[in-house]
Amino acid sequence: MQLAGMASNRGRNLLNIADRAPGGVEFAVVLSNDPDAPVLEQARERGIPTEVVPKDGDETRREHELRVEEALEAYEFDLVTMDGYMRILTEAFVEGQPTILNVHPSLLPAFPGMDAHEQVLKAGVRQTGCTVHVVDETVDGGPIVTQEPVPVFEGDDVDDLKERVLYRGEFRAYPRAVRWFAEDRVTVDREAGTVSVEGDEEGTFPARRVSSEDRAADLRYGENPHQDAALYADPTCDEASVVHAPQRNEGAKGMGYNNYNDADAALNIVKEFDEPACAVIKHTNPAGAAVADSISEAYADALSTDPKSAFGGIVALNRECDAATAEQIVESFKEVVVAPGYTDDALETLFEKDNLRVLDVSDRFETTETLTEKDLVGGRLVQERDLQSLSPDDLEVVTDRVPTDEQIESMLFAWQTIKHVKSNAILFAKGTETVGVGAGQVSRVDAVEIAKMKAESDAEGKDAEGAVMASDAFFPFPDGIEAAAEAGIEAVIQPGGSVNDDDVIETADELGMTMVMTGTRCFRHD
């Protein structure tokens, strides 16, 4: 798509569009009515042809437009983009051109005209923005293509608003609108005065995302002491969340960036289970996890997986923390404990540790937040939350040996837990407790070796003999199965899907192991 740009001054929006080329657009020409407009030199530096059509003193508006039209006739273009073109266009000019777009520095129809920022400040509104609209014979009255909200902060002046609206509003909205035109997604009905955009509707992944969170706390620092950090909260979240969990021991030091990150990871594991469950987290990975008949047993089983790594870790429970559990928690150093409530005796015990943060989350563990997000430099990844929960019917037995009911129960526990281990991930489990965890390795067989080492060296009162192994993705080679057999693993749950599946299955058969495939993987890369 070819564009004709019209500006009277710096034309920063036009230059931004030229640099970003949304939808592959190019400028056929940039025209100004001011020979000294800075946009002209900037356009030429980008190799864009320019035209200057100043208004003569005795010319009428239409006479000047006719000369503008004559200058534009030398170029082929599909869309006109205006940016601070300080001339009101006549109906004749508008009708004689392709669709004309303009950007206005407010959320129209509020605050039209030349002094939008002054109007915003005078009105005392807390949100402004910009509007990209189709130009008609009215002033700032054409049908709206897209808008972008921008906050107004205490103490703002006109210059503050002007820069924020430009960089955080116009530089986002204008290229978006141009890209939609380039993708032939916009229908303009001039008679009805309406604009419709194909695909710009509500859905899981809408064409535009507008979100707002409130700053809930200033944190002591970020991942490292030289990084500043803050916590933002979504007040509409109904699901149990560490963000909204009050800290019961108010005199203790506050939560930090890493504390929140790890506590969230721990809480998400115990939400997986209906029975009493505990997870002990270190650097967002489980040092141990378990399901048991009581919450104190679950904690003991989880801790015994790797008490060495659990030092300074985060504990999450899916039941009220009782005195028996609290007494175990304080036996070694922990940073945070998260639970849906505490008995008075448990709080008394936990409060004895000055540096232990005690978070009281709600018991609403049913999922309401269905998406997860990760910020990137210059953007954001959004995906559906991994809510898979397998049943025995979902498992395909691929070996000669068939798993027992006990092995299937252990496999399903391991699968629900390994979803929360960083890839490449391997998890050993016996019954409904972990035995060894290999997390975040670039080689799957290395992850097996680490889980094996953890089970042999760091687990207390349990080992991998007769245990099951879960893998978050397929085994590319049989070496992972061979290493698992050396550790005493007798059953394997994995997604399958490798070109070497037959070799892997054959190796499992030769080693007398049972293996099931899920047909789905559960990578966790962040």
Tally: H helices and E strands in the chain: 16, 24
Amino acid residing at 50: T
Residue 272's Cβ-count burial label (10 Å; 0-12, 13-18, 19+) is buried
Backbone angles phi, psi at 23, to 5 degrees: 70, 15
Q: Which of 104, 117, 133, 420 is catalytic?
A: 104
Q: Which long-range contacts (CB under 8 A, 24 or more apart) does 211-220 make?
A: 216/243, 217/254, 217/255, 219/254, 219/255, 219/256, 219/257, 219/260, 220/253, 220/254, 220/256
Distance CA 481, CA 294 (A): 34
- For residues 30 and 5, the answer to whether their CB atoms sit within 8 Å is yes
β-bridge mates for residue 517, sequence order: 396, 494
Tell me whether residue 64 is one of the annotated catalytic residues. Answer: no
Q: How far apart are CA 143 and CA 80, in angstroms?
A: 15
Angle at 382 between CA 270 and CA 288, to 5 degrees: 25
Which residue shows structure tokens 């378990």? 290
**Nearest CA-CA partner of 343 in 320, 317, 364:** 320
Provide φ and ψ at 476, rounded to 5°. Answer: -70, -25
If you write DSSP's letter for every residue of 25-66 in order, what string do you get?
Answer: -EEEEEEES-TT-HHHHHHHHTT--EEE-PPPTT--HHHHHH
Q: Contact at 8 Å (CB) between 94 and 100?
A: yes
What residues act catalytically? 104
